[in-house]
Every structure is written in C-alpha cells, then in structure tokens.
Amino acid sequence: MESSCANGSKMYALCWNDRKPKTITSNRGTTLPGSDSVRVRHRRVDTGGEIRTERYEKRIPRPYMVEIFFRYFSTIDVHDHYRQGSLEMERQWLTHSWAHRIFATTLGMVIVDSYLAYQHETKSNNIVACSTVAFDEFASRLAHQLNFNDYLAGSVRRDGNADGDIDDVSVPSTRF
C-alpha cells in the first residue's frame, strides 16, 4: 500500500509472506517487483521401489523493498551481536534505574559505532601499518584511553589584553 502524508512525503506499508508473514512500514522504497526469493527444497520420490531425494527450487515473488530490507538486515544483527553479545553492558551493569539502562545502551551503541567506523577507515584507506584489532581489544584500548588520557590537550580561554583586544590563550591542563 502506498500513501502520502500531509507534507507530501510517501509512506509504504506491505506484508510479505515467505515462511511467515513479515510486515514493513517505511517512508522510503518502491512497490515495484524485485527478484524472487529462492528456497531450495527436497522431497522423496518413489520410483518403482527405489526412494531417492529430489532437489527443487521454490520461487517466491517479492517486492523490491523486501529484497533491499533483507539484503541489509544482517547489518543490524552484527551491531546487536557486538553490543549485546560481546560488550554485554546491559547484562553486566545490574540496575533498576531506567536512566542507567538507557545510558548503558547508548554508550554500547557509541562504542560499537566507533569500532565499525574504525574498521571502515582502516580498510578504506588501506592502512597496513595499523592493522584492525578485534572488538574486545578495541573496547579495552578505548576504555584505557578514556580513563588515562595520554593526550594532554590544553584548554582555551578568552582573555583581554591591555589594548582591549580579546585573544585566545592556551592554558596547559593539569592532572590531579
């Protein structure tokens, strides 16, 4: 089903049945047909007392929107695996406070996104000297760098001179 909102943008709603019904609501896509979903099936065939297994393909037509959805759906699973399976902040941080749960989830998403950005940058820039590290090692290094900041950046404050001009003055940071 295709509809338009009050501001003129299009909305799509569709239900597609492969193994079980899947419903999608989206503000982007098309209702044009996509490539068929192909499932390999097996059946036993009795030919004169000899039973053999026959393979065949079951083709299920699907819209292009569903094809695109399932092409990139695994990306969400990978992100969730890093956040919930490897990092496990929500499971390790036992709290009843909803604010702490939201913070833990958001922090986990930021850590996973930074790791995926790191992987993308090292691969796309062909950085050989800085080989990619595993997620656990990346998270460990990130936590260490956030706790023990080796980069001592000075803060900048606005200061007035004797002539009345305002200049930026670098103030060295101090560690306690």
pLDDT at residue 158, rounded to an integer: 54
Residues 6+ apart with CB under 8 A from 168: 156, 157, 158, 159
Q: pLDDT tens digit string along 147-167?
A: 887 766 655 555 555 555 555
pLDDT at residue 99, rounded to an integer: 92
pLDDT at residue 74, rounded to an integer: 79
Q: Domain map of the chain by residue range?
A: 88-136
**DSSP line for the chain:** -EEE-TTS-EEEEEEEESSSEEEEEESS---SB-PPEEEEEEEEEEETTEEEEEEEEEEE--BHHHHHHHHHHHHHHHHHIIIIIII-HHHHS----HHHHHHHHHHHHHHHHHHHHHHHHHHHTT-SSS----HHHHHHHHHHHHHS----PPEEEEEE-TTS-EEEEEE-----
pLDDT band at 175 (very low <50, low <70, confident <90, very high): very low
pLDDT at residue 166, rounded to an integer: 52
> How much of the chain exceeds pLDDT 90, in percent?
12
**Mean pLDDT, the chain, whole residue set:** 80
Question: CA separation (Å) from 121 to 7, 23, 125, 126, 146?
Answer: 38, 35, 6, 8, 20
Asked whether residue 54 carries a pLDDT value surpassing 70, the answer given is: yes
Does this model's pTM top 0.85? My answer is no
pLDDT band at 110 (very low <50, low <70, confident <90, very high): very high
Integer Cα distance of 138 and 132 in angstroms: 9
pLDDT at residue 115, rounded to an integer: 92
pLDDT band at 31 (very low <50, low <70, confident <90, very high): confident
CA contacts within 13 A on the Cβ side of 157: 6
pLDDT at residue 176, rounded to an integer: 37
